[in-house]
């Protein structure tokens, strides 16, 4: 029961990130800039406290930072999506990462092939995505950015798979945040003509919550539940992130988050498809 409780807190924290992306008044790139800098410091403190060395072979360090760079771009686009549309729209695009994972993983892992079941569910998801475009055309740009963000999230997950068993989470987290910080700094230099915006007192509060609870804390909690729960169970619960996030968005932002019935139908199809896949996989394997 304790592991389930921790896992749901982790998913709730991740679902809350889109809300924080709306509450923080800084530009999306600067939000990620502060998040990665504060999170890198947080992971370094945790590594020191847990007596883990941050010195790793150069090849592994570069791999971690490269994967972190992908994560940084994912976050920039995720927060940009919430600003261009709504938190609900950016969260509705997130489950398409499952489809991207199914398409990308065979290229990264030569032992895995495309699975007909995953591709079929992927087509259903794309149909639901088209439905959302049809009924919420005013948010087409934000939703497109959200889908691109989900693509990067899938690329991060597939790339990270080779590293998770070799290094402690605090060490990986620190180096990945440094990689994310580097690419975000570059993006800021290329896109901003003004200086770095000074966060307001309320921005500092939300940034500290984003970097501590929603990044360092959620990462540590996720690693903790991996010790006692199966990947199957974790993945099923993880797919509740858009559900939690959309509910929180409606509660916090009220009417500005209310969408048409077609949007909720399309989002429901996406989330439902992702949730049912693990059970369908088990049924197919038994057959």
- Strand segments, DSSP code E, in 93-210 are none
Q: Pick 252 or 26 by higher pLDDT.
A: 26
CA angle 138, 141, 144 (to 5 degrees): 125
Is residue 260 exposed (0-12), middle (13-18) or buried (19+ Cβ within 10 Å)?
exposed
- What per-residue confidence (pLDDT) applies to 276? 73
- What per-residue confidence (pLDDT) applies to 94? 73
- What per-residue confidence (pLDDT) applies to 285? 67
Residue 28's pLDDT band, with cuts at 50, 70 and 90, is: confident
- What per-residue confidence (pLDDT) applies to 259? 66
**pLDDT > 70: what percent of the chain?**
76
Question: Region 101-110: what's the mean pLDDT?
Answer: 69
Give the residue numbers spanning the domain of 55: 2-286
Residue 3's pLDDT band, with cuts at 50, 70 and 90, is: confident
Average pLDDT, the chain: 80
**Tokens standing for residue 10:** 């982790």
Question: Region 19-27: what's the mean pLDDT?
Answer: 86
Residue 40's pLDDT band, with cuts at 50, 70 and 90, is: very high
Please determine, for residue 105, whether its predicted confidence score (pLDDT) is greater than 90.
no
Q: In whole angstroms, what is the distance from residue 271 CA to residue 267 CA?
A: 6
Please determine, for residue 112, whether its predicted confidence score (pLDDT) is greater than 90.
no
**pLDDT > 90: what percent of the chain?**
22
- What per-residue confidence (pLDDT) applies to 84? 83
Please determine, for residue 232, whether its predicted confidence score (pLDDT) is greater than 60.
no
Residue 146's pLDDT band, with cuts at 50, 70 and 90, is: confident
- What per-residue confidence (pLDDT) applies to 198? 86
Q: How many CA atoms lie within 13 A of 265 on its CB side?
A: 11
* Cα separations in angstroms, 164 against 4, 168, 215, 245, 273: 21, 8, 16, 26, 27
Please determine, for residue 199, whether its predicted confidence score (pLDDT) is greater than 60.
yes
Q: What is the pTM of this model?
A: 0.79
Q: What is the pLDDT of residues 272-283, one digit of tens each?
A: 766 676 677 677
Please determine, for residue 119, whether its predicted confidence score (pLDDT) is greater than 60.
yes
Q: Pick 15 or 46 by higher pLDDT.
A: 46
Domain count, the chain: 1
Please determine, for residue 114, whether its predicted confidence score (pLDDT) is greater than 80.
no
* Start-to-end C-alpha separation, the chain: 31
């Amino acid at each position: 029961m304790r592991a389930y409780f921790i896992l749901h807190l982790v998913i709730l924290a991740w679902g809350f990130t889109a809300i924080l992306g709306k509450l923080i008044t800084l530009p999306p790139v600067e939000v990620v800039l502060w998040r990665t800098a504060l999170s890198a410091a947080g992971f370094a403190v945790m590594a020191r406290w847990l007596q883990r060395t941050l010195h790793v072979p150069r090849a592994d360090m570069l791999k971690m930072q490269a994967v972190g760079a992908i994560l940084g771009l994912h976050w920039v686009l995720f927060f940009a999506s919430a600003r261009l549309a709504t938190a609900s729209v950016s969260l509705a695009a997130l489950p398409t990462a499952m489809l991207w994972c199914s398409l990308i993983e065979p290229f990264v892992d030569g032992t895995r092939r495309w699975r007909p079941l995953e591709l079929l569910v992927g087509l259903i998801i794309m149909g639901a995505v088209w439905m959302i475009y049809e009924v919420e055309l005013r948010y087409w740009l934000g939703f497109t950015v959200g889908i691109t963000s989900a693509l990067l999230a899938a690329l991060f997950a597939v790339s990270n798979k080779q590293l998770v068993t070799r290094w402690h989470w605090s060490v990986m987290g620190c180096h990945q945040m440094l990689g994310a910080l580097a690419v975000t700094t570059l993006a800021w230099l290329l896109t901003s003509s003004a200086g770095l915006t000074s966060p307001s007192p309320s921005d500092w509060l939300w940034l500290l919550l984003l970097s501590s609870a929603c990044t360092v804390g959620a990462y540590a909690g996720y690693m903790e539940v991996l010790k006692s729960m199966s990947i199957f169970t974790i993945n099923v619960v993880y797919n509740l992130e858009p559900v939690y996030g959309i509910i929180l968005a409606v509660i916090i932002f009220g009417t500005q988050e209310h969408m048409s019935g077609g949007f909720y139908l399309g989002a429901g199809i996406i989330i439902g498809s992702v949730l049912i896949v693990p059970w369908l996989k088990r049924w197919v394997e038994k057959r």
